[in-house]
Amino acid sequence: MIHKAILGFSLLFSSQLVMAQQDKYEEGVHYFKIDQLPAQTVDGTVEVTEVFSYACSHCNTFEPYMQSWAKDKTDSIKLNRLPVAFGRKSWEMMARGYIVAEMMGIVEKSHVAMMDAIWKQGKQFRNLQDLADFYSGFGIEKSAFIAHFQSFAADSQLRKGQRDVRLFGVTGTPSMIVNRKYRITGNKAVGDFNAILDVVDFLVAKETVAP
């Protein structure tokens, strides 16, 4: 009898914890539903996308938080980055540079280095040659970088990415997207970078247990 009572209390307590977790963040306040796109997950993987720009000072400040979060994330989370252009030529050039670095397999080495070059070293990237000079420091030929930069594949990927930015409803950076279903951006209810990533974790858990 005592055993049944303890079990019942345990189940009730667990249920209350789940309900409290579900009420922790509210749709339309702490995160926003993306209605235009279906989730694209496979085998229980949850897709998390960081929407950023190298020209965004807030993205630079956010980067150490992202690095720490990515280091501790579970293997079930697939992390992507999506560089934005917002119709600005200089931002588009930097976004295309990121895409090319990804295509050429050097992006994990070059990503933070690019942030540091701009925001710590004060380096300016005015043209394609400047970008080629920078990325050649990661073991690739300048001519190969330029060829990829001017390729149809890079152009196609850039266009697809900017289309996704619009469909996600992203108007500022950094923003986080979970499973192509939810958007999280800093606001009064989500007041700092730790809070943004806590909402991401909340939504990852929500998607993990979703039927």
Q: At 103, phi and psi to the nearest 5?
A: -60, -35
The whole-number pLDDT of residue 22 equals 61
Tell me the domains of the chain and their CATH numbers. Answer: 1-84+170-211 (3.40.30.10), 89-162 (3.40.30.10)
Maximum CA pair distance of the chain?
A: 78
Distances in whole angstroms, Cα of residue 172 to Cα of each of 21, 91, 137 = 28, 13, 30
Q: Which residues contact 91 (CB under 8 A, 6 or more apart)?
A: 53, 55, 84, 85
Distances in whole angstroms, Cα of residue 201 to Cα of each of 41, 47, 73, 197, 208 = 16, 12, 9, 6, 10
| pLDDT(12) > 70 | no
pTM here is: 0.86
What is the per-residue pLDDT across 22-71, written as a single tens digit (0 to 9) for each? Answer: 668 999 999 999 987 666 666 779 999 999 999 999 999 999 999 999 99
